[in-house]
Structure formats: C-alpha cells, structure tokens
Amino acid sequence: MKTYRIPKISEPPALDGTPSGHLWETTSGVLLVDCVSGEKPKLATQVRLLWDDDYLYVGYEVEDNRIIANFTKRDEPLWQEDVVELFLSPSGSEHYYYEFNFSPREVILDLIVLNDGGHAGEGRGELVSFADRDVKGLRVSTHIHENQNWSATVAIPFRELHFAGNQPPAPGDEWRANLCRIEYGEAEEEYSTWSPTGLVDFHTSEKFGVMVFDGFR
C-alpha cells in the first residue's frame, strides 16, 4: 500500500497558485502514474502535501499541452474536463470519504461520497454523492503558464472535515487517500493517480493509499 508522510509546518505556505518556496520544498512530493498500469503517463503531475493545526495544504504541478476548462460554477461536473482531484477518508473507511476536484480556472467541486462497495466494473453497487454541503473556507489558487502547463495550491480546513479521530490530526495519525488527475489531451484521455487503482475508476477506494501526518522536520 502506498504511503505518504506529510510534514508539519509552523507557518502557512505560499498559496498563490504555484507550490514553490522553502516550505513547499519541505517535502519531495509524489509523481502520479497511469491509474491502470502504474506506468509513467505522457503528461506528468507532481503533488506535494503539508499541514499545520488549521489546514491540509496540497500543491499540484501539472504538465499540459492544451487546457480544457470551461466550467465556472462550484460543484459543476469538473471531471468532464481537465482536473486534479483529492480523495480523502479521515476515518480510513472505504465507504464514506470526501472528493475534491480543482480545475485550472480555480473552480471547486467538493462532495461527500457514500460508496457501498462491491467490485468496480463488476457490479460495484451504488455511489451516492452529496454536493449541497460546501466545505467552508476551502481555498484554491491556480496559475496557467505560457506553455499551457498549470499549477494549483489548495488549503482545506480541518474544522470542516468530519469522521477523523483527532481534530486537527495528531502526529502519527493516518488517513486513507488518493491523488488523481484527468487529462483530456490532444490525442486521448489520461487518468493518473498516486495509488494505482487497476481500473479507470477513482472510486476504487480499496486501493487508496495512506497519508501519515508527521511532526515538524
């Protein structure tokens, strides 16, 4: 099972759409892979995570060649265009978790998902998503570069996340999670994840990895 150790920081990192600077460099980050094969995708995505007593911070660096992002309203179906995603289960459950989508245009989709299990592609069962409760204080900034690469910085407030044993997390706490990207490229779609699912289905929650909240480094 994939494991990512998230360092704790004593001050907020820069949240200007570009995850750079000494705080973001506290962690090396991870490169996403093809969600089915686990191989290197054509277009790279690197993700870094940090935390303090108030927020979980996520920084995405996205290689792209043609950005497709036309949605403008919160909770529109962002997965139908270019998007980066975070699946987060504070309790460790495979059956209820948060899903966050972030578009290159700073649009947010945030859901609470009920997943009754089963086997993806073979009669998984029912997925129920609740979009009518927005995570208050959720912040995202993006930056689109001249070469069509783009990046995003995100701050997710712990006070809005339920189901965790500790609020905020304590050093050593473990949450289940996955980091994902959908790319509608010039040739074909790409589906990338941190922890490969074996299927083009990010809701294969039994394949989520583990995020460990470390102390200060």
Mean of the per-residue pLDDT values for the chain? Answer: 93
Rounded Cα distance between 156 and 49, Å, is 11
pTM: 0.95
Domain with 45, as residue range(s), is 3-216
Name the domain count of the chain: 1
Rounded Cα distance between 163 and 96, Å, is 9
**pLDDT value of position 121:** 56
Confidence of residue 116 (pLDDT cuts 50, 70, 90): confident
216: part of which helix (H) or strand (E)? strand 209-216
CA atoms within 13 A on the CB side of 164: 24
Confidence of residue 51 (pLDDT cuts 50, 70, 90): very high
Rounded Cα distance between 193 and 208, Å, is 10
Question: At which residue do the structure tokens 């910085």 appear?
Answer: 153
Q: Give the contacts of 200 (CB within 8 A, at least 6 positions apart).
A: 35, 36, 191
Single-letter code of the amino acid located at 188: E
**pLDDT value of position 98:** 96
CB 112 within 8 A of CB 133: yes
| Token pair of 198 as six digits | 């074996």
For residue 203, give the nearest of 111, 131, 132 by alpha carbon: 111
Lowest mean pLDDT among 80-94, 101-115, 129-143, 149-163: 129-143
Residue 22 sits in a domain whose CATH number is 2.60.40.1190
pLDDT at 132 over 90: no
**pLDDT value of position 129:** 85
Single-letter code of the amino acid located at 136: K
The pLDDT of 12-27, averaged and rounded, is 96
